[in-house]
Amino acid sequence: MKLGKFQIDVIVENTAYVDGGMMFGVVPKKLWSKDVQVNEQNLVPMDLNVFVIRTGEMILLVDTGLGEMLSERQQKIYGTAPESRLESGLAELGIKPDEVDYVIHTHLHLDHVGGAVKDDGDGNPVPRFSRAQHILQKLEWEAANDPDERSEAAYDKSKFMPLYDAGLLKIIEGNVELIPGIKLVLTGGHTMGHQGVIVESEGERLFLFADIVPFQSHIRPAYVASADLFPLETIKIKKELLPDIAQHGWYLGFDHEIDIKVCRIIDTGMKLVAEKVEV
pLDDT, average across residues 11-38: 92
Q: What is the model's pLDDT at position 50?
A: 99
pLDDT tens, position by position, 130-154: 999 999 999 999 999 999 898 888 9
Structural domains present in the chain: 2-277 (3.60.15.10)
> Cβ-count burial of 63 within 10 angstroms (0-12 exposed, 13-18 middle, 19+ buried)?
buried
What mean pLDDT, rounded, does the chain reach? 96
Render pLDDT for 62-105 as a digit per residue (tens, 0 to 9): 999 999 999 999 999 999 877 899 999 999 999 999 999 999 99
pLDDT of residue 256 exceeding 90: yes
* Residues in a beta bridge with 44: 18
Q: What is the mean predicted confidence (pLDDT) over 230-244?
A: 97
Asked whether 107 and 210 are in contact (CB, 8 A), the reply is yes
Encode pLDDT of 170-194 as tens digits.
999 999 999 999 999 999 999 999 9
The predicted model gives 204-227 an average pLDDT of: 97
> What's the chain look like in SS3?
CEECCEEEEEEEEEEEEEEHHHHHCCCCHHHHCCCCCCCCCCEEEEEEEEEEEECCCCEEEECCCCCCCCCHHHHHHHCCCCCCCHHHHHHHCCCCHHHCCEEECCCCCHHHHHHHEEECCCCCEEECCCCCEEEEEHHHHHHHHCCCCCCHHHCCHHHCHHHHHCCCEEEECCCEEEECCEEEEECCCCCCCCEEEEEEECCEEEEECHHHCCCHHHHCCCCCCCCCCCHHHHHHHHHHHHHHHHHHCCEEECCCCCCCCEEEEEECCCCEEEEEECC
Q: What is the arithmetic mean of pLDDT over 243-260? A: 97
